[in-house]
Every structure is written in C-alpha cells, then in structure tokens.
Amino acid sequence: MISTEAIISRSEISRCMLCSDAPCTSACGKMDPAGLLRSVWFSNEQGAALRLPPENTCLTCPAPCEAKCLRPGEVHIRDTMNRLRYQVLPECETPLPGDEERLKCDLCGIPMENPFLIASSVSASSYDMCARAFEAGWAGVAFKTICSMDIREASPRYSALPGDGSSIIGFKNIEQLSTLGVEENMKILRRLRENYPTKLLLASIMGRNEEEWGTLARLCEENGAHAVELNFSCPNMADGGYGSDIGQVPELVERFTRVAKQACGIPVLAKLTPNVLRMSEAAEAALRGGADGLAAINTIKSVTNVNLHTYVSAPAVRGQGAVGGYSGSAVRPIALRFVAELGLNPELRGMHISGMGGIETWRDAAEFLLLGARSLQAATAVMQYGYRIIEDLKQGLNLYLAEKGFASLSEMSGLGLDHLSGTTDTLDRGTVLFPRLLKERCVGCGRCAVSCADGGHQALRLDEQRHPVLNGGRCVGCHLCVLVCPQRAMVPGTKRIRRP
Ligand SMILES: Cc1cc2nc3c(=O)[nH]c(=O)nc-3n(C[C@H](O)[C@H](O)[C@H](O)COP(=O)(O)O)c2cc1C
C-alpha cells in the first residue's frame, strides 16, 4: 500500500544532483537510475520500484553508475536500486496503470488531459517554453501575465531559503509581468492554440483600468485562449493600485471581473492574493462579478536573507532590497489553508478552484485535490527542477487513484473538507494519544528527551541503553518527540486514553 511516509526518504539521496542527461544512466545501460532516483526524490518511490527491470542486474554489477556520478561515491545508487527492489516493491499492491484515463478532468468544462498546469511565471512566458512544457506532458499553461504596461525587470530578481541537498524551501521573487508586448503575446497564444489544440491555454491578464481589463480579456479570447485568469494578486505591482492591491479590495475585484466577463465569452478565473486575513471576501466579490472560477494562491509578501554586513535583504538590486513574493514548499500549508477556506465556503459552491502554492510532488497535488481544488498549478518547482517533474506528478497521482479505487479525480476532490474545521474549538479535548517507541529503529540519540524536557512536559527519560522511557502521568500526548526524532523511531500510538 502507498504509505503516508516514504520508505526511502529524500534526505537519504540528498547528494544526488538530479543531473540533466545524467552520467549514471548513460553508464548503466540496463535501466534509468537517474529517473528512478528522481522518482524517489519526488515521492514516487512505488512508481520507481514498479519500473525496475524484472532481473536484478545490480547484484553482480560493478556499479559504473556510481563511478560516473559527478559526486563519485556520494550517492548510493546501487544501494537505492536494491532498496527499491527489496523494500519498496514488496509493498506495492497495485500495478502501474496502463493509461492516464483517471487523470482526465476539466477546467470550467474545458477538457484537460490531467490536472497539471504550469502556473503563470517565466516557465510559461514564450512559445518555445510552453511548447516544451506541453511535450513533457503538462495539460496546459497559465500564460505569464499579459499587460499593456512597459515592464522592465530588476536584476537579480530571486532569492531562496535552501533546504536539504539542492532543494529550496522557500523562494522569493520581485518579478513583475510579461515583458513582451500585447501583440507579441497574442501571436504566441494563436500559435500555441494552432499547434497544441488539446492543451489548455489559460491567459493571465492585468489591466490598469476597466478599459484595459476588458480589451485584454477580449483579445485573449480572439487569439485562442480557452479561459482567462485575472491577476488580482501580483505582490510586486502594488504601487498605483495594481496587483495584490486589487485582490485586497473586494469592490475592485467585482468591478474588474464583471468587465472582463462582459468582454469575452470564455470562462474567467480570479487569481486571488494570500496577503489578506480571509480570502472569502474577494472570492465572493469575484463570484458577484461573474467569475467562473478562482485561482489561489499567488505569492506571499516577504523579506528574505538580510545580509549581515551590507544590511540589505535579498535580492539586492544595487544595494537596495524590496518586499517581494514568497512561493515554493514553505508556502504550501498557507496555500492549503486558503484553498480549504474557499472549498468550505457554501457561497462559492460550484466555482472551479485552481490550487497552487508549493506543489512539487504528487502527494502535494493530492492534498490540494482533497481540499477541493479541481486543477493544479506549479511555478517554483518547475523553475527549480524543470518541466520533467510532470512525469512523477502524473505517475504518482495515477497510482494513488488506482490504489484507492477512484475512477476519476472528481471522486477524490474535496474529500478532506469533511474532516477539517476552520478553528480548533470543535476538537475533542478529553483524550490523550501517547507516542510509541519502535525500539528497533532507536539508536539512543536522546533528541526526543531533550525536546520533551525543554519544549514539552518532561515525560521522557533515557534508560541505560539510552532508549526513551515514557512517564504516562506527565505525557500530554503533544507528539513533539515524534516530530523531532531523526530516526523516525517515535510514532503515534494506537490507543487513546481518557484524560484523567
Ligand atoms: C518568478 C515568478 C514569477 C511569477 N509571475 C507571475 C505572474 O506573472 N502572474 C501571476 O499571476 N503569478 C505569477 N507568479 C506566481 C505563481 O503563478 C504562483 O501563484 C506562486 O508562485 C505559487 O505557486 P508555486 O509555489 O508553485 O510557485 C510568479 C511566481 C514566480 C516564482
């Protein structure tokens, strides 16, 4: 069964650089170790195990893959292949689906091959880039925001908080909109529609006044867009009342949505800002203006990496930093919260929700779907790892749907909403769930006891073998020990007890 926790964690292969044209695969000749490692990285380890060739050639192989690795000896490729075969494969109960029928869905009635779109960003800003995304397997693009302003971007324009290996936890950008003129962008839309008729073209637009919103919406329809996404949420355009300023003012959201809706006959999505306390006010305003759907979230206003010598935050443009938009894995919980808020709002029932914010793996995608999203977008993960992440997004989600017995995506959409309340007030407070130690995994580091002592309720002590011993009289079942254990040896117990 697909477990909630990976058997081979990403950190175990964090020295792998996910190379382009990877030397390990060229050296192997029997399988594609680079593709399999990438699947492990993107949480699709069962997909990887099921793709292994039937015969285990790794057993007698001198591992030229490891010799040719650009970090020789640092990535245990053969070991990982064997773990896929002997630890992960036996857990696989469902064969790899032979087709992608289950992934088919729609955006306001427009068919999509799968739920995955490139989010409006540089990755969907030219004909060539969109074409390559389509060829890689993306179902469509939210094209980089088109406007009639003269956009001149700053350099540098990104900054990041690094994670394990080459991963990025959070990503900040100070980028604005498409630097191409309206005419040129329309030409691109026409060519994409003509050459990729089955791919979905969602044209993101931003106007400065009613006339511009209307004109852009009309032009996008005339030039082949299937739908328009109204960018009410770019945090890097706030001066003068554009961008996220609009998303913060429901009257403007309603007014500009109505103008766009009246100017075109295709579906209109309002892309909303997370830089608000609640998103419902703007979402309901978009609905009143006639929007068919909502897209959320755009980036979150942020400051990153203040340089301790120059005192300038990053990215520094000639000695000056600026508040910019934060995206990537770090924002996923906030994005899920907003998507769930929209999904739980009965006023918005029936509106299409296109969810985004930190989607990197199929598991992230599934979380958004369970909270009510019906299509999904990704920007930062694509910028970081390339269009190729679509392979594991599709395969992992398809396998999950097959295993769960869902015939289509719509069967899982919103299932998590029944189990989520907007506040913690309604939760049971009369019982405690103790943690449980898996002794065979514990190596006696004592991290659980340190955290329990200094951040918990002093319920753990270490015995002579350095294994933690629980004092049930003190433990409140907070599970801090579960979260900090580097060995994943502390797990939630199975029995709830009544609080004395
Ligand atoms: C470099 C960059 C440029 C972006 N440009 C746009 C844009 O032009 N229009 C827009 O609506 N959103 C834009 N976004 C926001 C993304 O579409 C998306 O809403 C946000 O990044 C969250 O998704 P992610 O975590 O997958 O990146 C941009 C994001 C990044 C990182």
Which of 229, 223, 231 shows the shortest CA–CA distance to 206?
231
Ligand 1 atom with minimal separation from the 332 CA: 25
Task: Give the end-to-end CA distance of the chain in Å, rounded to a whole number.
Answer: 37
Whether the CB of 298 sits within 6 Å of ligand 1: yes
Would you state the pLDDT for residue 239? 65
Dist. CA 52 → ligand 1 center (Å) = 36
274 domain residue, yes or no: yes
Given 389, 419, 449, the domain boundary residue is 419
Among 116, 118, 121, 146, which residue has the most ligand 1 atoms within 8 Å of its CB, making it the best to mutate? Answer: 121
CATH code (residue 484): 3.30.70.20
Domain that residue 468 falls in: 431-498
Would you state the pLDDT for residue 236? 87
Would you state the pLDDT for residue 485? 97
The sign of the dihedral angle between the CA atoms of 462, 463, 464, 467 is negative
Would you state the pLDDT for residue 235? 87
Q: Which of 234, 264, 442, 475 is catalytic?
A: 234
Ligand 1 atom with minimal separation from the 145 CA: 8
Dist. CA 91 → ligand 1 center (Å) = 37
1 domain residue, yes or no: no
Ligand 1 atom 29, closest CA:
121
Would you state the pLDDT for residue 255? 97
Same domain membership, residue 267 and residue 211: yes
Among 120, 176, 387, which residue has the most ligand 1 atoms within 8 Å of its CB, making it the best to mutate? Answer: 120
- Side-chain-side CA neighbours of residue 308 (13 Å): 0
Same domain membership, residue 273 and residue 166: yes
Same domain membership, residue 476 and residue 349: no
Give the count of domains, the chain. 3
Given 391, 419, 447, the domain boundary residue is 419
351 domain residue, yes or no: yes
pLDDT digit string (tens) for 156-187?
999 999 998 889 999 999 999 999 999 999 99
Same domain membership, residue 273 and residue 220: yes
Whether the CB of 36 sits within 6 Å of ligand 1: no
Whether the CB of 119 sits within 6 Å of ligand 1: yes
Whether the CB of 380 sits within 6 Å of ligand 1: yes
- β-bridge partners, 460: 470
Same domain membership, residue 326 and residue 236: yes
Would you state the pLDDT for residue 99? 98
The answer to whether 234 is a known catalytic residue is yes
Whole-number Å distance between alpha carbons of 310 and 332: 31
Same domain membership, residue 178 and residue 319: yes
**Global pTM value:** 0.96
96 domain residue, yes or no: no
Whether the CB of 364 sits within 6 Å of ligand 1: no
Whole-number Å distance between alpha carbons of 154 and 122: 14
Segments in the chain below pLDDT 70: 238-241, 500
Same domain membership, residue 213 and residue 146: yes
Ligand 1 atom with minimal separation from the 359 CA: 26
The pairing of beta strand 200-205 with beta strand 140-146:
parallel
5 domain residue, yes or no: no
Q: What are the residues whose beta carbons fall under 8 Å from the beta carbon of 64, sequence distance 6 or more?
A: 27, 28
Same domain membership, residue 156 and residue 213: yes
Q: From residue 239, how far is each of 147, 248, 315 by CA, in Å?
A: 15, 13, 19
Same domain membership, residue 439 and residue 393: no
Ligand 1 atom 3, closest CA:
121
426 domain residue, yes or no: no
Ligand 1 atom with minimal separation from the 327 CA: 25
Helix (H) / strand (E) element for 376: namely strand 375-378
Whether the CB of 358 sits within 6 Å of ligand 1: yes
Whether the CB of 373 sits within 6 Å of ligand 1: no
Whether the CB of 379 sits within 6 Å of ligand 1: yes
Which of 231, 255, 38 shows the shortest CA–CA distance to 151?
231
pLDDT digit string (tens) for 114-145?
999 999 999 999 999 999 999 999 999 999 99
Same domain membership, residue 393 and residue 436: no
